[in-house]
Amino acid sequence: MSAATVYDPAGFALPDAQKRFLRWTIYIGYGALVAGIFHGLANALSFANINILPYFPRLRGYYQGLTAHGVANVLVFTFAFSNGFLPLMTARALSRPLVSWLVYATFGALLLGNILVVYAIVTNQASVLFTAYAPLQAHWTFYTGLVLVVVSTWLALGNMLTVLGRWKRDHRGERIPLLAYISVVSYVMWALASLPIAVDFLGLLIPWSLGAFGGLVDPLLTRTLFWFTGHAIVYAWLLPAYVSWYALVPRQAGGVLVSDPLTRVVFILFLLLSIPTGFHHQYTDPGISEQMKAFHGVLTFGVFFPSLATAFSVVAALEIGGRRRGGRGLLGWVVRLPWGDPSLVAQMLAMVVFVFGGITGLINASFTMNQIIHNTTWVPGHFHMTVGTAVALTFVGVAYWMIPYLTGRALWGRRVALASSWLYTIGVLIFARGMISAGLQGMPRRTFQVQAGYRSPEWELGGALTGIGGTIMFIGILLFFVVMGMTLLVGKKGAEPKDIPVTRTITAPSLTGWQPHLDRIGLWVIAAIALVLIAYMPFFLTYAPRFISPGFKLF
């Protein structure tokens, strides 16, 4: 750790058993990250016309690998990390231990879910990609495993709410500490958002995979339920990263967060607006009225706003840090930021890439422009800069203080860690440039280019950049694993950070006026439900389910 990252202890200590289980919960996530990147490499290279799939023992096809990549990296990695990180943040903010049995249950549900999902994918009975679109049909263990992963997030939230409830009993009239507030609101939003996919999997896909409904399924209904959850899911991945950007990064950069109230407003806006936007993934789907698509489109631009406010807040916090360290002039403060601290650098690079992720997101959200980029490689170009970098690289950066904190071993290989983040960032920018330009030329996503008989010469450059960038990203992440592995094996004992780097804010929360209402999370949940009903009821009230399609197993 660089000299800039000195964490003063606040007298907070979690029981050892809780620390251990949180650690193992998070390890499942990083394990999934490494498991997933191998097919990531194969997929990137396939766009450059290079086929390394034959080198994968036991792999029986492109879609099996692509499913493993998506499920491991966006479903398991993200939620396993958050299941450990958010309860840890809540406990730290409230200076209270967690509920032990809920920590264990969260870990247990996640582990069991993973065993089922891994079984289904490894045995090639679930090559349906992470979106699980029917009528592609997976083995019931795939859907059930994913349900258990979702259950694990509910258990983690249950833990946080219990601890918060106990804290409130002892602190009547006080405002919830910011770090606890934003951690809880993140998972409250997700819990609400996860209900449609629970209905989809438990009510439709699991029974169907076991032979119910005469073996028939309604593709539009299941797709709509998926995206009902599926847009909000991307914010469920993002918000834990925002928790770090708002509440920890300013401190790590030697700065301070500008506004406590603005931060709460941002998270409430995510609670309100993340869910009623799912149709922007279905602009090209038949059977959904144009008016409803337009309504979701407008709300999508609405949910863009709290991210803009976030950009303002995090840049301001970094600027304060840079100026306190002697930075002068318009941009001199950037140079003075602690560029030797691997935890901070990973997260700052994640932010820079997210600017491009955000811009491409706006283009996706624009109804007419979406017609050009939908189902092309533009979309994976977009999401590798959002979930694939803003989120993943932030979680990598957090690991650089959190794993030492949880294991009692100091970080090994600061320079290797820095190299890892820089390589990954350079890699993803080349990769996404390739995917985005080729996507504009119509290169399809989810297609094994090596075997596609309709390759266009226009895709050559974009495909090659995708392959080159993907390879650099792969090396970057491998270095992260070297750092983590060595930290666990030989990291110096006793030199680890003793506390979590929680920031201070310039504007404190107010005890009077409208602000305390922000802490009435239950009321905001009711408002969010109302908005969701307005956005989705017109579809569900007028839609007559059509169980018309048999299941397909094209693998």
Note the residues at the interface with Cu ion (CB under 5 A): 231
Instruction: Report d(CA 393, CA 480) in Å as an integer.
Output: 10
Give CA–CA dist 319/328, Å, rounded: 10
Interaction between residue 243 and ligand HAS (CB under 6 A): no
**Which of 320, 311, 305, 316 shows the shortest CA–CA distance to 265?**
305
Looking at beta carbons only, is 33 or 103 nearer to ligand HAS?
33
What residues from 321 to 350 belong to the interface with ligand HAS (CB under 6 A)?
334, 348
Interface residue with ligand HAS among 237, 267, 412, 524 (CB under 6 A) is: 237
DSSP letters along 384-407, please?
HHIIIIIIHHHHHHHHHHHHHHHH
**Cβ contacts of residue 477 below 8 Å, gap of 6+?**
33, 34, 37, 396, 420, 424
Is 189 a binder of ligand HAS (CB under 6 A)? no
Burial class (CB in 10 A: 0-12, 13-18, 19+), 59: middle
Is 281 designated active site? no
List of residues 6+ apart from 290 with CB closer than 8 A: none
334 binds, among ligand HAS, Cu ion, none (CB under 5 to 8 A by kind): ligand HAS
CB-nearer residue toward Cu ion: 38 or 539:
539
Q: Which of 6, 362, 508, 537 binds ligand HAS (CB under 6 A)?
A: 362
Q: Which does 251 bind (CB under 5 to 8 A by kind): ligand HAS, Cu ion, none?
A: none
122-141 footprint of ligand HAS as x/- string (CB under 6 A)? ---------x----------
Which is catalytic among the residues 223, 296, 384, 409? 384
Catalytic member of 382, 405, 480, 539: 382
Beta carbon of residue 383, minimum distance to Cu ion (angstroms, whole number): 9
Q: Does residue 91 contact residue 13 with C-beta atoms inside 8 Å? A: no
Q: Within 10 A of 504 (CB to CB), how many other CB atoms are there?
A: 12
Q: Is 171 a catalytic residue?
A: no
Residues 6+ apart with CB under 8 A from 468: 48, 430, 431, 434
Per CB under 6 A, which region of 97-105, 356-364, 428-436, 473-481 contacts ligand HAS? 356-364
Q: Which helix (H) or strand (E) is 497 found in, with range?
A: none
Applying CB under 6 A, does 307 fall inside the site for ligand HAS?
yes
Binding segment for ligand HAS (CB under 6 A), chosen from 34-42, 82-90, 364-372, 407-415, is 364-372
**Quick check: is 446 catalytic?**
yes
Q: Is the dihedral of CA 125, 72, 433, 356 positive or negative?
A: positive
Q: By CB under 6 A, is residue 351 in contact with ligand HAS?
A: yes
Pure H helices in 13-170: 16-47, 62-70, 77-94, 100-122, 140-170
231 is catalytic: yes
- Please pick, from the candidates 64, 386, 437, 449, the single residue that binds ligand HAS as defined by CB under 6 A: 386
Residue at shortest CB range from ligand HAS: 358
Q: Closer to Cu ion by CB, 74 or 121: give it.
A: 74
* Burial label, 523 (beta-carbon count in 10 A; 0-12, 13-18, 19+): exposed
Query: Among 21, 235, 431, 539, which one carries the catalytic annotation?
Result: 235
The amino acid at residue 387 is V
Query: Pick from ligand HAS, Cu ion, none: which does 307 bind, CB < 5 to 8 A by kind?
Result: ligand HAS
Of 139 and 296, the one with the shorter C-beta distance to ligand HAS is: 296
How many Å apart are CA 422 and CA 440, to the nearest integer? Answer: 27
Alpha carbons 146 and 431: distance in angstroms, whole number: 29
Binding site for ligand HAS (CB under 6 A): 131, 234, 237-238, 280-281, 300, 303-304, 307-308, 310-311, 314-315, 318, 334, 348, 351-352, 354-355, 358, 361-362, 364-365, 370, 374, 379, 382-383, 386-387, 391
